[in-house]
Amino acid sequence: MSGNQAVIAGIGHTEFSQNSGRSTLQLAAEASLASISDAGFSPAEVDGTVTFSMDTNDELALIRTIGVPELRFCARTRGGGGGASATVQLAAAAIESGQAEAVLVYRAFNERSAHRFGQPIQTNPDPVWNWAIPFSLNTPAKVYSLTFQRYMYEFGLTNEDFGRYTVVARDWASTNPNAQFYERPITLQDHQDSRWIVEPILRKLDCCLESDGGVALLITSAERAADHGADFVPILASSAVLIEGGHEMFAYYHEDLAEYPEGRILGQRLYQQAGLTAADIDVAMIYENFSPIVFLQLEAFGFCGRGEASDFIKDGHIGRDGSLPVNTNGGLLGEGYIHGMNNIVEGVRQLRGTSPNQISGAEHVLVSAGRSGIILGR
Amino acid sequence: MTTVLPPIFDFDDAFFWEGAKKHTLLIQRCGDCNVLRHPPTPLCANCGSMNNQTTTSEGNGTILTWIISHHPTEPEAEPRIVILVELDEGTRLVSNLVDLAPTHNHVLNDKRVEVCFIDYDGTVLPQFRLAQVQP
């Protein structure tokens, strides 16, 4: 590994809850300081930041809060949670190009107690919604379901198939003290008893857990991380994928609606960069605003064939003692929805050997946000 | 009574909504290379032309995918069937299927549909009905 290799040197987060009781800036600051301290750095050494375009915590407000004197690199990823792993890509690009030496990645919101993403849109926010809102596509669950239904139809799936993912996620969460569903596993019957959100695709337990909280990462070079005594994890590959006709919400205009083309391209790029194949991945952290998107990504990344994700999950591959443990923190359905960033934290934990659901011998972890992804490794 | 949130007329798509008011389903067409595109864009990605014209769709198409849409916070509101239609001209359009009970005991994929226009309190939307003849 070259000394210039970008690594995740520190991870930090607040508790994940339904009502944090404090400002999003405080959540961002707490998570940021935790990640800086975890890496053995001081705030004064941070010289770059990355967050989401949607994040409401201004860079200047944050550095004034935590005592960073000066930044020379600031970037934000477009869109929503699909860009979660792109935060790491941007930070790594800054480190490896020499634009910055210590980049703080942060994302914090009160997404349950304040603005809830899952609530219906009351006024048309932008002309891009003209092709959705008047026709009553007014929540993310409905917007996504319109593509998921084609996948169900082509491969003969029912909502019960999606429930099998939720059962696994809630099993992982049940032994993760940081998960909001700690010690609360469910059965498939519980899933089937939960109310419909979008017939005949999604029930309540297919939906991620709107949450309050903050997550931060400290990204630097391997050499600098080693100098600070950090337990660092190299970023072996990183990429984002945006395609003509694609969209994180309105993915209705690409050729084949029963596949996830961005994920397929992303997987190919990441494996090529890292010199790995799907078979080399020990743990996969897969962004799931809704359970069906795990199915599409398992297929896109080549963990199973097209239309085979349902059997792959039914056969136990993604759970305890499975061949490919998936979302070992409980994922965004079980641990909490911090816009996908908490899945990166769990990826780092798996490679440090500090996960509450540690997979022994984990060497390569894929962290996918669907439209961006990273492979972390030892 | 179905309440519809109206579109925001934009430079790039006002023609579509004006067309709907006149009960025509318009598809943006490049005046130079004739490629059709939807949703509309200010210039043609195929040839770069800004000579934006339209073609009037025959209004026939096939349902690719569909959902039942309940209003999450207004349980009294009537559910609507949302569909993604592939028009015979080749472009795709999000719309609604009307004149059919909004229950999920249907298989609507690949069903043939034909356009109709409904005025929802001043907002005219292209909507679809199942065609008389199915394959």
Task: Give one DSSP letter per residue of A197-226, joined into a string.
Answer: EEBTTEEGGGB--B-EEEEEEEEEEHHHHH
% of chain A at pLDDT higher than 90 = 93
| Residues A340-344, mean pLDDT to the nearest whole number | 98
Contacts of B19 (CB under 8 A, 6+ apart): B25, B26, B54, B56
Output the average pLDDT for chain A.
96
Per DSSP, A129 falls in state: G
Residue type, A197: I
Q: Is the ipTM of this complex over 0.90?
A: yes
- Per residue in A99-152, pLDDT (tens digit) is 999 999 999 999 999 988 888 888 888 888 999 999 999 999 999 999 999 999
Show the domain range for B39.
10-56
Per-residue CA distances from A345 to A17, A325, A350, A376 (Å): 17, 16, 9, 11
Looking at residue B105, its pLDDT comes to 79
The CA distance from A329 to A180, in Å, is: 10
**Total count of domains within chain A:** 1
- Per residue in A35-77, pLDDT (tens digit) is 999 999 999 999 999 999 999 999 999 999 999 999 999 999 9
| Residues A335-350, mean pLDDT to the nearest whole number | 98
- Per residue in A207-237, pLDDT (tens digit) is 999 999 999 999 999 999 999 999 999 999 9
Tell me if chain A has a CB within 8 Å of the CB of B133.
Answer: no
Q: What residue of A is the nearest CA neighbor of B119?
A: A134
Q: CATH no. for residue B69?
A: 2.40.50.840
Looking at residue B58, its pLDDT comes to 98
Residues in chain B: 135
Q: Is the pLDDT of residue A1 over 80?
A: no
Residues 254-273 of chain A whose Cβ lies under 8 A from any Cβ of chain B: 257
Of B56, B73, B90, the residue at which a domain comes to its end is B56
The CA distance from A104 to A214, in Å, is: 13
Looking at residue A249, its pLDDT comes to 85
Looking at residue A260, its pLDDT comes to 96
* Helix or strand (DSSP H, E) at B62: strand B60-69
| Residues B15-34, mean pLDDT to the nearest whole number | 98
| Residues A273-301, mean pLDDT to the nearest whole number | 98
Choose among B65, B63, B61: nearest CA to B114. B61
Residue A57 maps to a domain:
yes
Structure token digits, residue A108? 């914090």
Q: Work out the minimum CA distance from A199 to partner chain B, whole angstroms.
A: 5
**Total count of domains within chain B:** 2
| Same domain, yes or no: B67 and B133 | yes
| Residues A226-253, mean pLDDT to the nearest whole number | 94
The CA distance from B117 to B63, in Å, is: 17
Q: CATH no. for residue A346?
A: 3.40.47.10
| Residues A192-208, mean pLDDT to the nearest whole number | 96
Query: B65 with B94: CB under 8 angstroms?
Result: no
Looking at residue B106, its pLDDT comes to 84
Looking at residue A128, its pLDDT comes to 87
| Same domain, yes or no: B109 and B62 | yes
Q: Work out the minimum CA distance from A368 to partner chain B, whole angstroms.
A: 26
- Per residue in A180-191, pLDDT (tens digit) is 999 999 999 999
Tell me if chain B has a CB within 8 Å of the CB of A74.
Answer: no
| Same domain, yes or no: B66 and B125 | yes
Count the Cβ atoms, other than its own, within 10 Å of residue B58: 12
Identify whether A287 is a catalytic site residue: yes
| Same domain, yes or no: B31 and B81 | no
Higher-confidence residue of B105 and A368: namely A368
Looking at residue A119, its pLDDT comes to 86
| Same domain, yes or no: B52 and B65 | no
| Same domain, yes or no: B90 and B117 | yes
pLDDT confidence bin for A355, thresholds 50/70/90: very high
| Closest CB from B65, B93, B104 relative to A147 | B65
Q: Is the pLDDT of residue A363 over 90?
A: yes
Q: Work out the minimum CA distance from B73 to partner chain A, whole angstroms.
A: 8
Q: Is the pLDDT of residue A27 over 80?
A: yes
Looking at residue A21, its pLDDT comes to 98
| Same domain, yes or no: B90 and B102 | yes
The Cα angle at residue A24 between residues A23 and A27, in degrees rounded to 5: 95
Identify whether A337 is a catalytic site residue: yes
- Per residue in B41-85, pLDDT (tens digit) is 999 999 999 999 999 999 999 999 999 998 877 777 889 999 999
Q: Is the pLDDT of residue B25 over 80?
A: yes
Show the domain range for A102.
6-114+209-377
